[in-house]
Amino acid sequence: MVFSGRTGRKPLTILVVCAILVALAIAGCGGGSSTAASGQGSQTATSTASAGSTSATGADATASFIAQADAICRGVNAELTAGSAKRAESSLSNIARVATRNAAIERKGLAKLEALTVPGAISLSWQGVLAKRTALSKQLAELAADARRKDNSAIQALGVTKKRVHAELRKAAKKGGFKDCAKVGSS
């Protein structure tokens, strides 16, 4: 096959893109960073303390809600990372398969998260968490579609967007006192 006189350039570009995609896939299509987890315990204590100034019942409801939500997110994150050894293959067809699988896992988790009754004290930050996790789920579906179309430029652009959404997720989750809901996948 001849690519406008540059036979070696196209395969090298595809190899580089695939390497980037493998990194995204191994991270559960991106996740929280270790820095997102640091200081999380103090944030939870602060959120609970501020809710406690209103009433002990409000603090208990907030703590209980955070525990329930984080348990769901922990389960989703574990499912996302369960097949990480299988994600090492960087073919576009494998990336499409893994992204489709991960999008389904995220949607299932989102349904459970949306069914929870959020206490008013953290409802705004919780809405932010749900919005960002919903966006990431949609981006996984886009990644799968882009990989099936072999649209490397769209895949690269999506990688940049996903990093921004992950940062916004960590910020919203930290504000509400969440730990596991700030992460996606193995990190």
Highest mean pLDDT among 25-29, 32-36, 115-119: 115-119
User: 51 in a domain, yes or no?
Assistant: yes
Encoding tokens for residue 77?
Answer: 């994150």
Under 8 Å between Cβ of 152 and 17: yes
DSSP string, 66-77: HHHHHHHHHHHH
Contacts of 19 (CB under 8 A, 6+ apart): 90
Number of domains in the chain: 1
C-beta atoms surrounding 131 within 10 Å: 14
Q: 């008013």: which residue's tokens?
A: 120
User: 187 in a domain, yes or no?
Assistant: no
Q: Is the dihedral of CA 174, 179, 184, 185 positive or negative?
A: positive
User: 85 in a domain, yes or no?
Assistant: yes
The whole-number pLDDT of residue 49 equals 37
Could you list the residue range(s) of the whole structural domain that residue 149 is in? 9-182
Verdict on whether the full-model pTM lies above 0.85: no
Sequence-ordered alpha helix ranges (H) in the chain: 9-26, 34-37, 40-52, 56-82, 92-115, 123-149, 152-176
Under 8 Å between Cβ of 162 and 29: yes
**pLDDT tens by residue, 114-131:** 999 999 989 999 999 999
**pLDDT tens by residue, 54-97:** 445 788 999 999 999 999 999 999 998 886 555 556 789 888 99
The whole-number pLDDT of residue 14 equals 52
User: 44 in a domain, yes or no?
Assistant: yes
Contacts of 62 (CB under 8 A, 6+ apart): 47, 48, 51, 119, 121, 122, 177
% of the chain at pLDDT higher than 70: 65
User: 4 in a domain, yes or no?
Assistant: no
Contacts of 116 (CB under 8 A, 6+ apart): 65, 68, 69, 72
